[in-house]
Structure 1
Amino acid sequence: MDETKQLIVVVEDDAGVRLALQRLLRASGFRTLSFESAEALVTAAGASNASCLVLDVQLPATSGPMLYAQLGRHRPPAVFITAHDGPATRSEVANAGGKELLIKPFIARDLLDAIARAMCAAKRP
């Protein structure tokens, strides 16, 4: 495994979407880890080495924005994804510190661009 590749961690409860995201990211040159819930990510301490997180907003139990807020100050940048756009969702993501939100279905290029923007913004002082 090439350790120089950046690690993208996906948290998505829909197994088909999770697998599709992993395939896209791997084909785009990233290493990936994926989890079906926020709790699974926390249990595995999966966010600690991530370059970026891709978080579904509507996860069972702990939502994507709740998870991101709980990760604290030293968290990787994140791209949030949702099928349920609206002012409440946008507010929840923004209040958790999220800057990137994509509405499902989205095209692959939009996700890759959002990841690049999120990682670039995280490098700025």
Structure 2
Amino acid sequence: MDDRRQFIVIVEDDAGLRRAIERLLRLSGFLTRSFQSAEDSNVFEFASEARCLVIDVQLPGISGPAFYGTLQVPRPPAVFMTAYDGVRMRRAIENAGAHTVLTKPFLGDTLIREVLKATGPPH
């Protein structure tokens, strides 16, 4: 199996949610690496190698959409998460090329479904 297809990077500042997402994705068969901010060491390197990103919108320092915009094109697909959903915010994220936006709280099944859509069919 293609490990790149299975590699997901998580960028979420809430430690409990970050661990829960990482555990859920690992139990679903994905390889993961998580970061608490878009300014963590090596986050750009790992994000560039990922098959999909799961990114919080409201991060300390650089925001999720701003971070995503700095990645080299073609960027991996991204599933953004936010507790503050709004038309303007959603439009900005979608214009950045995100795969989808999930509003917190969301079901684990919903996240897995969106990550599977973003990563494409198994090889």
- Do Structure 1 and Structure 2 share a fold, with TM-score over 0.5? yes
| Counterpart residue number, 2:27 | 27
| Counterpart residue number, 1:51 | 51
Q: Which stretches in structure 2 are left out of the alignment for 5+ residues?
A: none
Per-residue Cα deviation, 1:8-48 (whole angstroms, up to 9, x for no partner): 10000000000000010011001110000111165562113
Stretches of 4+ moved more than 4 A in 1?
A: 41-44
Aligned pair count? 120
Q: Hey, what's the Cα distance between the residues in 1 that align with 2:78 and 2:41?
A: 14
Percent of residue pairs identical: 50
Aligned to 1:85, what secondary structure does the other structure show?
A: coil
| Counterpart residue number, 2:16 | 16
Q: Hey, what's the Cα distance between the residues in 1 that align with 2:55 and 2:46?
A: 13
Amino acid of the structure 2 residue aligned with 1:117: K
TM normalised by structure 1 equals 0.87
Per-residue Cα deviation, 1:82-112 (whole angstroms, up to 9, x for no partner): 1110112102201211130000100011001
Q: Hey, what's the Cα distance between the residues in 2 that align with 1:93 and 1:48?
A: 18
Asked if 1:101 corresponds to 2:101, the answer is yes
Q: Which stretches in structure 1 are left out of the alignment for 5+ residues?
A: none
Q: Hey, what's the Cα distance between the residues in 2 that align with 1:88 and 1:19?
A: 29
Q: Hey, what's the Cα distance between the residues in 2 that align with 1:101 and 1:81?
A: 6
Aligned to 2:59, what secondary structure does the other structure show?
A: coil
Q: Hey, what's the Cα distance between the residues in 2 that align with 1:23 and 1:98?
A: 23
